[in-house]
């Protein structure tokens, strides 16, 4: 964080959040996201459990009496991030700046100059909640994959109830499919179809490895769920699978083809609502980074560090074009210090509109030289 703040100047800052959701407040803040019975059962398990919860066991959950405090602090920090982005995004982005952002999104990644810099009301109103535990695997009543509550959907509900934001695009990049978020989005959009006054309308787009958890054990339902693309019948889902790459040129081909297509679908979704009532929420995972632990990267996808710079640079364009710059990030996966530090630096450099010389902590990286097979470690 100090490194990217130094390189980006005043456009990036770090602030602590003292907001925490107490045990008695959790059910109200999570209403419409998780079943009340599930919330109470989880709190009861935490009060007596020293490690793996008996009735909620999935092999990757660890509870203690301090867990509710942790999840309450994470949720409170994320809601702070939503409130801050909503407050900073109240000034409309000028029409010319929106059009310029849309044109940049249509260009090849190698041809895109840095995102338009802060210009008065066109400043990007982006916040990044550095929180744990993650949330994108948790369904309405089933915790899994280190996730107890679904942070992204809780943030979407808060944006709707507190700020009147009706169109919310949830974009998830992580080694693993955000299966819990997708299940909740499907349920919410189905309710919206039956009652237009009920919840917000949501888009869910995920970029993940189809061979990793929760698809690792060849569960057909999980695999099909992580592969569906549907933009009709009141649903808005778009799943993209990470691809292997032999050199940086091949990676850029994947990026300009399949990866950016996810943002194109999000743009189609957001085009249906005024920017002042639209928001982007990003579930940001860094466990697909090439510096992640080999024990996590069992399938060897290893995204180059430059991916996070490019994708977040394009997310900034998407926000300028469709949400008056409003965008909220929540940390998901990422376990090695190398993956987290380098991935976060590249992501924030892209958001801040820094040039390709800052695509990685080490400098321009592969964006400054011809690709070659040895580029993939």
Looking at the annotation, which residues are catalytic? 137
| 3-state class (DSSP) for residue 319 | helix
H or E segment at 102? helix 95-106
Question: How many angstroms separate the CA atoms of 205 and 227, rounded?
Answer: 11
The bridge status of strand 229-230 relative to strand 201-208 is unpaired
Q: Under a CB-based contact definition with an 8 Å cutoff, are residues 13 and 364 in contact?
A: no
Question: How many angstroms separate the CA atoms of 338 and 310, rounded?
Answer: 19
Distances (CA, A) of 219 to 43, 216, 244, 324: 30, 8, 22, 40
Question: How many angstroms separate the CA atoms of 31 and 208, rounded?
Answer: 28
Q: Under a CB-based contact definition with an 8 Å cutoff, are residues 277 and 164 in contact?
A: yes
The bridge status of strand 201-208 relative to strand 125-129 is unpaired
| 3-state class (DSSP) for residue 328 | strand
- Encoded tokens for 323: 């949400």
Burial status of residue 181 (CB atoms within 10 A of its CB: 0-12, 13-18, 19 or more): buried
Residue whose C-alpha is closest to residue 244's, from 291, 178, 292, 299: 299
User: What sections of 271-331 are H helices per DSSP?
Assistant: 306-322
H or E segment at 332? none
| 3-state class (DSSP) for residue 226 | coil
Q: What is the C-alpha R_g of the chain?
A: 20
Q: How far apart are the first and last CA of the chain?
A: 25
**Which residues, other chains included, contact 199 with Cβ-Cβ below 8 Å and sequence gap of 6+?**
32, 157, 160, 188, 191, 192
């Amino acid at each position: 964080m100090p490194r990217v703040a130094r390189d980006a100047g005043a456009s990036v800052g770090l602030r602590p959040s003292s907001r925490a959701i107490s045990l008695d407040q959790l059910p109200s803040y999570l209403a419409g996201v998780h079943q009340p019975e599930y919330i109470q059962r989880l709190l009861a398990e935490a009060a007596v459990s020293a490690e793996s919860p008996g009735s909620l066991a999935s092999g990757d959950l660890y509870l203690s009496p301090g867990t509710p405090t942790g999840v309450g602090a994470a949720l409170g920090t994320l809601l702070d991030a939503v409130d801050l982005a909503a407050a900073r995004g109240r000034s409309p982005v000028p029409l010319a700046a929106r059009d310029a952002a849309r044109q940049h999104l249509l260009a090849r990644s190698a041809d895109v100059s840095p995102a338009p810099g802060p210009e008065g009301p066109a400043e990007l109103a982006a916040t990044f909640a550095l929180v744990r535990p993650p949330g994108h695997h948790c369904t309405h009543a089933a915790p899994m994959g280190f996730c107890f509550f679904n942070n992204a959907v809780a943030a979407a509900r808060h944006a709707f109830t507190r700020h009147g934001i009706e169109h919310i695009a949830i974009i998830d990049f992580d080694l693993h499919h955000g299966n819990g978020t997708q299940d909740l989005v499907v349920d919410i959009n189905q309710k919206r179809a039956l009652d237009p006054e009920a919840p917000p309308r949501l888009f869910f787009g995920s970029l993940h490895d189809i061979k990793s958890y929760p698809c690792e054990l060849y569960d057909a339902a999980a695999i099909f769920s992580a592969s569906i693309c549907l933009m009709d019948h009141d649903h808005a889902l778009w799943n993209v699978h990470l691809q292997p790459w032999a050199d940086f040129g091949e990676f850029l081909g994947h990026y300009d083809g399949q990866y950016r297509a996810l943002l194109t679908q999000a743009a189609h979704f957001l085009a249906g609502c005024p920017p002042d009532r639209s928001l982007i929420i990003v579930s940001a995972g860094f466990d697909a980074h090439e510096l992640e632990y080999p024990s996590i990267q069992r399938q060897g996808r290893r995204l180059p560090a430059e991916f996070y710079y490019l994708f977040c640079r394009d997310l900034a364009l998407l926000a300028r074009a469709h949400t008056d710059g409003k965008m909220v990030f929540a940390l998901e996966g990422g376990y090695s210090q190398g993956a987290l530090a380098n991935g976060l630096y590249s992501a924030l450099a892209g958001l801040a509109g820094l040039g390709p010389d800052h695509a990685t902590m080490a400098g321009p990286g592969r964006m400054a030289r011809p690709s070659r097979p040895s580029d993939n470690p």
